[in-house]
Structures are given as structure tokens and as C-alpha cells.
Amino acid sequence: MSAVPQGQARSHCSSVTLPVLSTRTVLIKSGVQTVWKFDKREFGGKAPPRNLPAPPENVNNNLVRLIVAMVNEATDNIPCWDDYVATGG
């Protein structure tokens, strides 16, 4: 564990490397048709739309919940976001 200089805040870098897929009852990794999916690669080269769907209750990945909530909060607070998405942002 590295020391944080006095007066400086800690920062964290979080990453979702693999897609998160979910059926109605279990979290899965691949090979099954899904009810809900979050894959950052779907937005490579384009902007995500507003109001990404939240994971269902059975998804126990709090990092994914946080990322989806943060994207939704950001897109809700950018007035011209829909225009940006429409132009291929």
C-alpha cells in the first residue's frame, strides 16, 4: 500500500474489462441469451444514449451499477447530449 502525501486525496481507477451479462437468475459470462447486458465496447467510437438501463436486482456487481449510474447522471446533465448522439458523437 502506498502512502498518500498529507493534504492530498486518494484517487481510484476502476475498469470493467469484460462484458457483464445477466439472465433472470444468475450472472453469466458468455454463451447464453441475456435479459440485461453492459459492455463498454458497444460504445467504442460513439456516445452512449441517455438513460442506460440499470442492472436487474440479481446483478451483484456494484461497480457496474456505479458506472451505469454515473453515465446516466452525466448524460442527463448535458443539455445537448441527444444532438451529440444523433450526429454520431
Q: What's the pLDDT tens digit per position in 24-38?
A: 544 556 555 556 778
Assess if residue 27 is contained within a domain: yes
- pLDDT digits 0-9 by tens, 6-59: 666 665 565 666 677 665 544 556 555 556 778 878 888 888 889 998 888 777
Q: Give the range of the structural domain holding residue 47, as residue numbers without chain letter.
A: 20-86
- Assess whether pLDDT exceeds 80 at residue 73: yes
Distance CA 19, CA 25 (A): 17
Average pLDDT, the chain: 75
Assess if residue 7 is contained within a domain: no
Q: Specify the number of domains making up the chain.
A: 1
Assess if residue 10 is contained within a domain: no
Look at residue 1 in the predicted model and tell me its pLDDT.
45
Q: Using alpha carbons only, what angle is made at residue 18 by residues 21 and 68, rounded to the nearest 5 degrees?
A: 65
Look at residue 16 in the predicted model and tell me its pLDDT.
62
Assess if residue 6 is contained within a domain: no
Assess if residue 14 is contained within a domain: no
- The pairing of strands 36-38 and 20-22 is antiparallel
